Amino acid sequence: MLRCDDAVRLGYLRHLLAAFDIDVQLHPASAAVPGSYWGEPEAGIVGKVLHVRPDTPIHSALHEACHLICMDPTRRAGVHTDAGGDDLEESAVCRLQILLADHLRGVGSDALMADMDTWGYSFRLGATRSWFTDDSEDADAWLRAHGLVDADGTVTFRSRS
């Protein structure tokens, strides 16, 4: 499981998320994670800040960051812990985190999907890869409709407006 314990990887994560105006706050290993929906060591969100610890899985950090990217500006400004949204937005968050993993040096979508399976993400087709390649058309359409990916599915590096 890839974690936020590597300073270089954390630097790449900060750089990637800066494109979306998301700050990453690293907390000590023993600290509570502000805004963590699932509890430690999972990532948390408070406003436009992603909170992690060294033992926070990268998939969790990307997932919560993608919630921030996918929510509308009003919800983003006031979010604390629970991202809200509906099932389709949740699917879009999962698809976007996989797409962003390929822009995170030292991670990539293959490793991220394996970690998602290990953690226990559940999809109708079982494995994350099967869902991503064969069953996430609705999530892709949602991302396109909100300008988060372009017509060929490439990340636009914009947050939902």
Mean pLDDT taken over the chain: 96
DSSP, residue by residue, 15-32: HHHHTTT-EEEE--TTS-
Taking only the tens place, the pLDDT of each residue in 107-134 is 999 999 999 999 998 887 789 999 999 9
Q: Per the domain annotation, does 153 fall within a domain?
A: no
54 and 29, same structural domain? yes
**Among 78, 110, 137, which residue terminates a domain?**
78
Q: Is the CB of residue 59 less than 8 Å from the CB of residue 115? A: yes
Residue 15 token pair: 């750089």
Number of domains in the chain: 2
Closest CA to 3 of 55, 41, 46, 47: 55
Residues 17 and 64 in one domain: yes
Average pLDDT value for residue range 92-104: 98
Query: Is the residue at 154 inside a domain?
Result: no
pLDDT in tens, 47-59: 999 999 999 999 9
Shared domain for 130 and 105, answered yes or no, is yes
Residue 152: inside a domain: no
Q: Looking at the DSSP assignment, which residues form a beta bridge with residue 52?
A: 26
Token pair 């690293």 in the structure block, residue: 26
Q: What is the mean pLDDT of residues 93-102?
A: 98
Strands (E) located in the chain: 23-26, 44-46, 49-52
Q: Are residues 72 and 91 in the same domain?
A: no
Does residue 102 fall inside a structural domain? Answer: yes
**What is the pLDDT, as a whole number, of residue 124?**
79
Same-domain check for residues 73 and 93: no
pLDDT value for 24: 98
Element containing residue 73 per DSSP (H, E)? helix 73-78
Domain boundary among 78, 106, 127: 78
7-25 residue pLDDT tens: 999 999 999 999 999 999 9
70 and 95 co-located in one domain: no
Structural domain including 58 reads: 7-78
Residue 31 covered by a domain: yes
CA separation for the pair 43, 46 (Å, rounded): 10
What's CA 86's distance to the chain center, in Å? Answer: 16
Model pLDDT, residue 81: 98
